[in-house]
Amino acid sequence: MTYDEALNWIHGATRIGARDGFARIERVLELAGDPHKRLKFVHVAGTNGKGSTATMTANILTRAGYKTGLFISPYVVDFRERIQLCGQLIPRDELASAVETLKPVFEQVKAEIAECTEFEVVTVIGLWWFAKMGCDFVVLECGIGGLNDKTNVIPSPEVAAIASISFDHVAILGSTLREIASQKAGIIKPGCSAALYCDLTDEALAAIMERCSEAGVVPNIPDKNAPTDVSISGEGCDFTYKGRRWHVPLIGRHQIYNALTVIAVCEELRKRGFAISDDDIAEGIAGTSFVGRCEILRREPLCIIDGAHNIDGAQSLCGVIDEVMKGRHVTVVMGMLEDKDYRESITMIASRAAKFIAVTPDSYRSLPAEKTAEIARAVCSDVIVSDKPADGAALALETAGKDDVIIACGSLYMIGEVKERILG
């Protein structure tokens, strides 16, 4: 089986049945030798920031000498971003071999129970490959939620980490922050440790603390006011915390809070006997790059891509614009999905743009560019419809001065296309 054949087979899996229990994935894993029972995990849930949190954590564990797998979703440019080992994408031939090996197992479960969803397929492939490669740790990012997310098929993790929580996927997770937080907190299980984001709302924190109490877990919650001498720029964030100077190469105050969560994760791992030095933590954080999250692609003009696809993500991006790009001419290229709370996100970001280019992401759930533009026109005087994300990026580059800022944001379904155009 070739890599392209494997990828086509994965993408051909159904997307129906994502929330109907663990019977299929448990049976597949059983037939595959229960790889998840041979691994140690840091499990990460949250609305925004879980990808950054997971990537920083994996970086640290790798620098500490542990063979570390990283499972994230979605990918931005290359599907193999979803399954990584010690900072390297799964090799194409390894992915093809994994699919070829596991395909009969998936077919058997389809005959016995029902067809596995695409996310179940990718999760099993990742777990199977990590076990095959003899990983010491796997940093596992949830897809949607936590309690009913298919990654929660794993046994109790070493540490459950909860990132920022806000409104997203409300039709699935609930219409209140308490309901959403209860779903995210479902990854906290008896026997694990927990590390929580330092800026949770009272409502979300109450729901998580309730879950911690049920599981007999005392969470590590950093003090968000503890960092001092904070500096935020286009180069990232610098701050003093617990007697040490830290550098986060990711942009935005929220990345400081994500780093505090990661430090708390490492503190909990050390309590459990794992060898992780302060230098490992600092160097792991400082060496982190993350595709599509306030990622700088070029400097003249300054081009940034960010998957700000919901209100919390839009607020974080607006914080970056206000703190780092104040006084500069900002061109925004933006496309959203129709099943998100798009109106407020578009309004917040468009109000900070000197020029706004509306595009349509490549997804069946896309919000048409003209509708995005209609919302933006209420707060921005210079709004253009370009439809295709790559064309919107090209237009922004053509009209921007070298001291201007271009921000491409919204759905992750458009970020990869825009990245390729800007770099190309």
pLDDT tens per residue across all 424 residues of the chain: 999 999 999 999 998 876 788 999 999 999 999 999 999 999 999 988 899 999 999 999 999 999 999 999 888 778 999 999 999 999 999 999 999 999 999 999 999 999 999 999 999 999 999 999 999 999 999 998 889 999 999 999 999 999 999 876 555 676 689 999 999 999 999 999 999 999 999 999 999 999 999 999 999 999 999 999 999 988 889 999 999 999 999 888 889 999 999 999 999 999 999 999 999 999 999 999 877 778 888 888 999 998 876 787 888 889 889 988 888 999 999 999 887 778 999 999 999 999 999 999 888 888 999 999 999 999 999 999 997 999 999 999 999 998 899 999 988 778 888 888 888 7
Rounded (10°) CA dihedral 70, 144, 192, 160 = 60
DSSP 8-class letter at 20: S
| Domains of the chain: total | 2
Give dist(CA 406, CA 386) in Å, integer.
Answer: 15
Same domain, 214 and 76: yes
Q: Do 208 and 187 belong together in one domain?
A: yes
Residue 15's pLDDT is 83
CATH number of the domain residue 37 falls in: 3.40.1190.10
Of 221, 253, 286, the one marking the end of a domain is 286
The predicted structure's pLDDT at residue 235: 83
DSSP reduced 3-state for 301: coil
User: Same domain for 365 and 343?
Assistant: yes
User: Are 277 and 403 in contact, with CB atoms under 8 Å apart?
Assistant: no
Distance CA 71, CA 85 (A): 9
Q: Tell me: do 313 and 278 sit in the same domain.
A: no
**Domain coverage including residue 367:** 295-423
Same domain, 151 and 265: yes
pLDDT for position 74: 80
Residue 170 is predicted with a pLDDT of 58
Shared domain check, 134 and 31: yes
Q: Tell me what pLDDT residue 323 has.
A: 84
CB 326 within 8 A of CB 233: no
- For residues 273 and 356, state if they share a domain: no
DSSP state of 222: -
Same-domain check for residues 270 and 338 = no
Which pLDDT value is given to residue 352? Answer: 94
- Residues 384/389/394/395 CA torsion (nearest 10 deg): 0
Quote the pLDDT of residue 413. Answer: 77
